[in-house]
Structure 1
C-alpha cells in the first residue's frame, strides 16, 4: 500500500475515507473544512492510496481537540482500517508511518483515546496493547487514555480535571459535538429534529474551538450524549438508535 498525506493542496481531490466521496455532501464538506483549519496546527492525515476506511489522523497533543495534558506528544485523533482492508498489514503500516513521523518531529511518544473493550468510534485496545501502548489514565464510564512513549523517561499524559468532574447540569438530553467527525454533520440534525417532534428536552452544544474541546466534560469531544447530567454514549446515533435509547429512559 502506498500512503498518501492529505494536505491543503490536495484535499479537494482526495477521498477522506470515512464519508462518501461527493464533496457536496454535508459530511464531506464539514470534515474537510475542519481539517483545513487544523493543518496550521500541525494536523496530519495519512491514508491508503484507494477508497475505503484506511487512514490515521494525528496532531500535536497541545493542539488536540481533547481534554488531555500530553505536552510533547502526538495525539492520534482517529485510526481506522475496516472491512475487507483488514488483515493485510495496513494498520501496522499506518502506525509505523505515524511513529516515524512523530520521532522525526522530536515528539515524546503517541497518545490515543481507547476503552476497556472495543467500542464504536474508539481505537481497539487489544490492537494497541499488542503494539506496545499502555493505559496511563482512565475516565468513567469506560475510557482509557493509552500512550506509547518513545523513552522510559517520557512523562505520563493524563486526562484534564474537566473529564473527572464531568458536570452537565440539565434535566434532559445534552449533546456535545464537533465537526472533527464527518458523521455529526448529518446525524446531529436528524436527532435534533426527532427530539423536537417528540417534545423532548434536547440541547446541542457545538464545540467550535480547541479551547472549548480541551475543557469538555467527556474525553470524546466529537460526540458525547448526556441525560440528566449522566453520560450515555459516544456512539454517533441514527434516529432508530436514538429511539431505542428513549425506550429505556423516562425523558419527561
Structure 2
C-alpha cells in the first residue's frame, strides 16, 4: 500500500523504484518484528510486546535494522516497524502493549491473522 511518487529533473535518468525483493514474509514462527531506531517508541515498546507474547506462549523475534543494506533487504518497505505473524505480514502500526495483547488474544482464539483494528 505504499506508492512511490517522483518528480524527475532529468528525463534520461532511470525511474526511481522500490527495490524488488523475493520475499515479503518472515521465516520465523510466531511474532516477528523488524524495526529501526528511527522512532524511539518502536524501540521502547518491544520488551512489553515480548512479555505479552511470551505470556501467551507465542514465540517472539525482534530484529533491529542498523545498516542501509539490512533495511534494503528487509521483507518490509517501511522499516521503522513491521510486524509479521507466522511469516505473514500483518501491519506497520506500532501497537501499545494493550492493543497488541487484544490483537494476539483474538488471533489465538480465531487462528487467522488479521490487521489490528
- TM-score normalised by structure 2 residue count: 0.80
Q: Is the 8 A contact 2:35 2:43 kept in 1?
A: no
Deviation at 1:241, TM superposition (A): 1.5
CA deviation vs aligned residue, 1:67-122 (integer Å, no higher than 9, x gap): xxxxxxxxxxxxxxxxxxxxxxxxxxxxxxxxxxxxxxxxxxxxxxxxxxxxxxxx
Q: Would you say 1:215 and 2:64 are equivalent positions?
A: no
Quote the RMSD (CA, aligned, Å).
2.0
Equivalent in 125, 131, 145 of residue 4 of structure 2: 145
SS of structure 1 residue aligned to 2:106: coil
Task: Identify unmatched segments of 5+ residues in structure 1.
Answer: 1-141
Stretches of 4+ aligned residues off by more than 4 angstroms = none
SS of structure 2 residue aligned to 1:174: strand
Structure exhibiting the larger radius of gyration computed from Cα positions: 1
Deviation at 1:250, TM superposition (A): 2.4
Deviation at 1:146, TM superposition (A): 2.2
Q: How many residues align?
A: 110
User: What does 1:1-252 align with in structure 2 at a 5 Å threshold?
Assistant: 142-162=1-21, 165-250=23-108
- TM-score normalised by structure 1 residue count: 0.40
Task: Identify unmatched segments of 5+ residues in structure 2.
Answer: 112-117
